[in-house]
Amino acid sequence: MSPSEYPVAVVQMTSTPDVERNLEAAERLVRRAHEAGAQLVVLPECFAYLGPDSGQRAVAECLPDGGEILARCGALAAATGTELVLGGFWERAAEGDRVRNACVHLGADGQLRSIYRKIHLFDVKLADGTVLEESATVEAGEETVVTETLFGPLGLSVCYDLRFPELYRRLVDDGAVALAIPAAFTLQTGKDHWHVLLRARAIESQCYVLAAAQTGHHFGRRVSYGHALIADPWGCVLAECGEGEGFALARIRPDEVTRVRAQVPSLRHRRL
């Protein structure tokens, strides 16, 4: 492996209301990805808890100090020497009963590096009768975040953010060479939009895309599409998960970002 290549992985899992089961699955998959060579691993949205909205507050932790969940994740990062992106971490809001849907970056030493709070909240009624109203329990974030990783600047986002390209323009303007897009995309929307949107964000941003994903049945009528993947700055899918839990592994080459941006200098040609 070249010194300028950095193996990274995105995890695909089926989280449920059972926090202990979810954490055990996350730890197992991170360790497997580490054994395969990954130096940075992205976990999906809601990795520790994916259940009724009424249960979010009970598992939410105050950041930056955290609680048992953050401590376990930090210990895992330190034990494996692997940077972790906790794709959707339930954080207690400062006031009231709401929570925040946070994307947390932990260094390979287990220490907290950055926190992004999901800006765009998913309120929708799907054709199959599924009703999701994230804003009823979640407090939206306001600030974009680019964090420094072993391979360079990584822009943080969560799930529904994917549909708002202006967010990723801001992340690119702030130096991002890769974009973390951990998600719990619904089956209904994912089958038509997941691949198209992820590849579009990679192409227009000329960045690597690291899209961890939830898959399968979680509780009630909640089912996720899966297909965790890594795409390169040209929009090609380098690695993708199949059915069930697992991870996708690929190598990030920062010089490839430079090459693509020189070959098609669209970021320099912006007028608006």
Rounded distance between C-alpha atoms, residue 265 and residue 234, angstroms: 12
User: Which secondary structure element, helix H or strand E, spans residue 235, and what is its range?
Assistant: none
Rounded distance between C-alpha atoms, residue 118 and residue 121, angstroms: 7
Burial class for 272, CB neighbours closer than 10 Å (0-12, 13-18, 19+)? exposed
pLDDT value of residue 262: 97
Rounded to two decimals, the pTM is: 0.95
Q: Which of 45, 61, 91, 139 is catalytic?
A: 45
Helix orientation angle between 19-35 and 68-80, rounded to the nearest 10 degrees: 10
pLDDT value of residue 134: 86
pLDDT per residue over 26-56, tens digit each?
A: 999 999 999 999 999 999 999 999 999 889 9
Confirm whether 45 is a catalytic residue: yes
- Give Cα separations from 82 to 7, 20, 38, 144 (angstroms): 11, 21, 7, 24
pLDDT value of residue 159: 96
Q: Which of 73, 103, 159, 241 is catalytic?
A: 159
pLDDT value of residue 2: 58
Rounded (5°) CA angle 14-27-91: 75
The closest alpha carbon to 15, from 219, 211, 218, belongs to 218
- Give Cα separations from 184 to 7, 102, 160, 203, 217 (angstroms): 23, 14, 9, 22, 11
Q: What secondary structure does DSSP assign to 70-115, as a single string?
A: HHHHHHHHHHHT-EEEEEEEEEE-SSTT-EEEEEEEE-TTS-EEEE
Cα-only R_g, the chain: 17
Residues lower than pLDDT 50 in the chain: none
Confirm whether 191 is a catalytic residue: no
CATH class of 6-263: alpha beta
Task: Count the helix, strand and coil residues of the chain and give each as a percent rounded to the nearest 5.
Answer: 30, 30, 40
Q: Which of 61, 73, 91, 118 is catalytic?
A: 118
* Domain boundaries, given as residue ranges, for the chain: 6-263
